[in-house]
Structure formats: structure tokens, C-alpha cells
Amino acid sequence: MFRLRVSGGPRSGEQAVLDAARPCLIGRGSDATLRFADDPYMSRNHAQLALGPEGAWVVKNLSPNGLLVSGQQVKAERALRPSDVLLIGRTLLIFELVDPAARRPAAFPATPNAAPATPTAAAPAAAAAAAPWPPPRRPSRSPRLPRRPPLPAPRPPPPPPRRPPRPPPSRPNRPPSPP
């Protein structure tokens, strides 16, 4: 079972489980399965996720605005792998497995020589799948660093340099005036 988790955008933290029986239409329109009315960069019918003929989930681009899957632009359609990141408009979606242990082939057990899962061991996995994502943040236990003292006020600019005094005007040699 797969789900889409909204990792970025106005509805960050929400998730939707994909139903293999019907395709999932993503867009702003009222007929969209996953409706993002608050994303102005998303088309009414932007993308469609459906189970392909080989059993893999396929994303189809229905918009001229385009979409990115794991950093690569999708023109028509592309098969999805777990942990692929879809950028549709300004919304970031992560395509992921709900319970990775449920999809693991029997040839590759979770741990070597592991005992088969019992119903009591499966209950925590089901509870973990239903737990909200992202988990609530814990307060930091690191001590707070002291604040840096404020910078001193800038110095005023230096005064302009003083000019040397002007010499007295020179007088031509004149005879003294009679009294």
C-alpha cells in the first residue's frame, strides 16, 4: 500500500493513502481526488497517479505547467518508485510505502534467521503506520549559548584638517605717507 505525504507547501504534514482500484487525480479543481485549492501554481487537473499495466504506479502529466519527479521534468508519464519526490505547482509530495515490511519479498527477510511475524508483533507496525507524520518536535536539550555583547556605536568621523593661517597680503614698497 502506498501513500502521498505532503512535505512542502500550505498543507505540509498531510497524507493520503492511494487506492489501487481507482486513479488519483491531483489538482485545484473540484473533481480532483487530492484537491489543493490554495496552490495558485497548480492546474485544475495537474497530474494523475494510477496503477500501470506492470503493477507499478505511474504518474501522468496533465498540465502544460509541467511537474517534476525527483528533480526530472515529466512530459507525459513516468513510473514511480518509493521515496520519489513530486513537485506539483508549489506543493512537494513524497510517494512512499505505508508499511515497507508488507512489500518485502519472502526471499529477502527483514533480518536474517528472523522468526515469522506474530499478530502481536504486527500491531506496533500498524500503529506506526497510522501515527501522524511528521512526529511532534521535542524541545532541544542543548544549553543556550550566551548572547554576544552588542557592537559598540560607530565613531564619529574625524574633523576636517585645519588650514594653515594665511600670510598677510604683501604690499608693494611704497614710501610712507606724510603725516
DSSP string, 111-140: STTPPPPPHHHHHHHHHHHHS-SSPPPPPP
Cβ-count burial of 57 within 10 angstroms (0-12 exposed, 13-18 middle, 19+ buried)? buried
Backbone angles phi, psi at 122, to 5 degrees: -80, -25
Task: Give the per-residue pLDDT at 101.
Answer: 59
Confidence grade of residue 179 (pLDDT, cut at 50, 70, 90): low
Predicted structure pTM score: 0.55
Reply yes or no on whether the pLDDT at 143 is more than 80: no
Looking at residue 70, what DSSP letter applies? T
Confidence grade of residue 137 (pLDDT, cut at 50, 70, 90): low
The beta-strand segments (E) located in the chain are: 2-8, 15-17, 24-27, 34-35, 47-51, 57-61, 67-69, 72-74, 77-79, 84-88, 91-97
Share of residues in the chain with pLDDT > 90 (%):
11
Task: Give the per-residue pLDDT at 47.
Answer: 92
Report the distance separating Cα 36 and Cα 7, nearest Å: 13
Reply yes or no on whether the pLDDT at 119 is more than 70: no
Confidence grade of residue 82 (pLDDT, cut at 50, 70, 90): confident
Question: In the beta sheet, which residues pair with residue 34?
Answer: 26
Model confidence pLDDT, tens digit, residues 34-59: 998 888 889 999 999 998 888 888 99
The CA-based diameter of the chain, rounded to the nearest angstrom, is 135
